[in-house]
Amino acid sequence: MKKNLLLIISALFLLMSFTVQAQLQEHTENAKDAYNKYADKEQHSQIKMSKESTAYNIGDSRMFWRYNLSVMPPSWIQQSATCRAVGEKSYVFVADADWGTKMTQEDVDIVLNYLENETAASTDMGIVEMDETYFGTIPDELDSDPKVIFYYSSLGSYNGSVFDGYFSAFNQMTEAEAQSSSSHSNECEMLYMSCYPVDPTSLGTLTVLSHELEHLIHFGHDSNEESWLDEGCAEFAMVLFGQPDPVTSFNTNSDNNLTAWNQAYSDYVKTMLFFTYLSEHTTGPDFITSLVANPLNGVASIENTLTSIEFPIGFQQILTNWTIANYIDDTSVESGLYGYEILDLPAFTNKQYFTSYPASKTTTLNACAASYYKFITDFTSLEIVASFPQGGEWELNLLTFEDDVLKEFIPFSENYLLFNYPDTYVLSNLVLVVTNKEIGTGSKTYTLSINNISYVNNIEASGPVSIYPNPAAGTVRISFVSEDFFTSSVKLFNVSGQEVFVNTEKEQNGENCDVFFNTANLDSGIYFAIVDTGGKLIKAKLIVE
């Protein structure tokens, strides 16, 4: 009974933690919605022009509104804070109630150094310059001050859920506009950062600062961007800072639609990986900056930005390449196409390991997602047939390895692949990448059929044999020329090696032969016609619709 009670308490604890994080997510989303509904940009421009440039000095104090997440339901509170540091691009304010206890001048100096001068990855530039370089200029909506206020206070925690920092679009509105949504605005570019219970000077907290600053920049350029794209760029900011989120969760379940956003940890990881890959394999900072500034949203924004630079491939092919790179992560092959320069990925989990043949698998895969299948290497010729009863847009690629080094990259043709065991290297690993590159929110069903067809493979794959029509859905004619005075025959096999049709002709004398049969009783798929012309066996492929 005690054990059950502990499980219930743990479940409630996790539920409350998720609920609290959801409250913050709801707050930030409500702020964006309110801005797009109530903000009058023309009025904002007039207000900004009428103001003298705002400038704070060390020691200046002011009141700030913030969202109090340490109580449920959250509420707005107002706190006094004092400017404790001024940089070329930033101000550091600390809530007076936390000064000297939760945050000291030494802490402020460390934060300012990272804002202005360096990151965990580089001493060439600080966080603000780094984010502006990659994501665009910081907006200046109302206060006629190009600097950003980084406001530190005890954001605290609730039921174990700790808050590092956040961006609120309410501050890009006037106070009157914010009050239309029962909220408040400080009418300035600012981020809320925590000084308790987190350490404001830890790399973990500082990387969140770079993440949230990207949100401020992205909002200034495209206030209604889709969450997965905005969050992906913000996660990429953490990669640039040098302290990315650990690559876990997503690598053990890659069947996660890239363009879907459910605020799960794996969602952050998948978008972090994609936008890191996108930057590395397009034009770097220039591409990401153009993407952030693009007025379109989601996939349309990426496609439009690719078109603007005349990039040779589109989103769907980049998506496919990315799903392969996640498994290989090796920049030494295919001119670096399937690897990351800045990240070192852990292994991605196979959806299934096929240890014997014949084998089959029917399952589903989400749009904009991939699954990986591993095959035992005990075969002579491996035939893999894929079928997609619900249609869709798919890409399948077979990867062969020797001692974990990629040897061959083999794309499927017509959802079919026949792979002969290599005689030039020792095959140590064989993996199939199935990518659903359809853009959407649903999933589609597919079937894989795998067979070791050494008998069929040993038969010559070409010769004077024709099949018409092919693909077929009805009567089929197989035409060939027989050898002198031999009895010829035609046999039809399915991909499992089962004979489904046989026809034996009388002795022929070098004549043209036609064999007719009907496919009405055959399932859709791939078949092999084995023609004995009298002294030679010839193989031909037939597709039944």
* Separation of alpha carbons 40 and 359, rounded Å: 62
* Separation of alpha carbons 428 and 444, rounded Å: 31
Domain ranges of the chain: 2-244, 352-455, 459-544
* Separation of alpha carbons 109 and 529, rounded Å: 78
Half-sphere exposure at residue 132, Cβ-oriented, CA atoms within 13 angstroms:
15
* Separation of alpha carbons 369 and 391, rounded Å: 16
H helices of 174-244, in order, are 175-179, 203-221, 227-241
pLDDT by residue (tens digit) across 431-457?
Answer: 999 999 999 999 999 999 998 875 444
* Separation of alpha carbons 331 and 340, rounded Å: 7
Hey, what are 412's tokens? 């499927």
pLDDT at residue 78, rounded to an integer? 97
Identify the H or E element spanning 48.
helix 41-50
pLDDT at residue 21, rounded to an integer? 66
Question: What number does CATH give the domain 352-455?
Answer: 2.60.120.380
Residues in the chain: 545
User: 204: how many CB neighbours lie within 10 A of its CB?
Assistant: 12
End-to-end CA distance of the chain: 60
Give Cα separations from 354 to 11, 132, 376 (angstroms).
36, 48, 6
* Separation of alpha carbons 496 and 113, rounded Å: 66
Q: Is the peptide bond before 244 cis (omega within 30 degrees of 0)?
A: no
- Give residues with Cβ within 8 angstroms of 367, minimum separation 6: 257, 259, 436, 438, 439, 440, 441, 442, 443, 444
Buried b (16+ CB within 10 A) or exposed e, 438-453: bbbeebbebebbbbbb
Is 459-544 the same fold as 352-455? no
Residue 38 CA, distance from chain mean position: 33
User: What is the value of pTM for the model shown?
Assistant: 0.83
3-state secondary structure 349-400: CCCEEECCCCEEEEEEEECCEEEEEEECCCCCEEEEEEECCCCCCEEEEEEE
Hey, what are 474's tokens? 């009805």
- Give residues with Cβ within 8 angstroms of 154, minimum separation 6: 95, 97, 98, 102, 194, 195, 196, 197
Domain covering 459-544 assigned CATH 3.40.50.1860 in the classification: no
* Backbone CA torsion sign across 205, 346, 410, 405: positive
What's the average pLDDT block by block, 10 residues per block, for the chain (545 residues)?
32 38 82 94 92 89 92 89 97 98 98 98 97 97 95 87 92 96 96 96 97 98 97 98 98 98 96 98 96 98 98 98 97 94 97 94 98 94 91 96 93 86 93 98 95 56 72 87 65 75 60 83 84 70 85
- Amino acid letter, 248: T
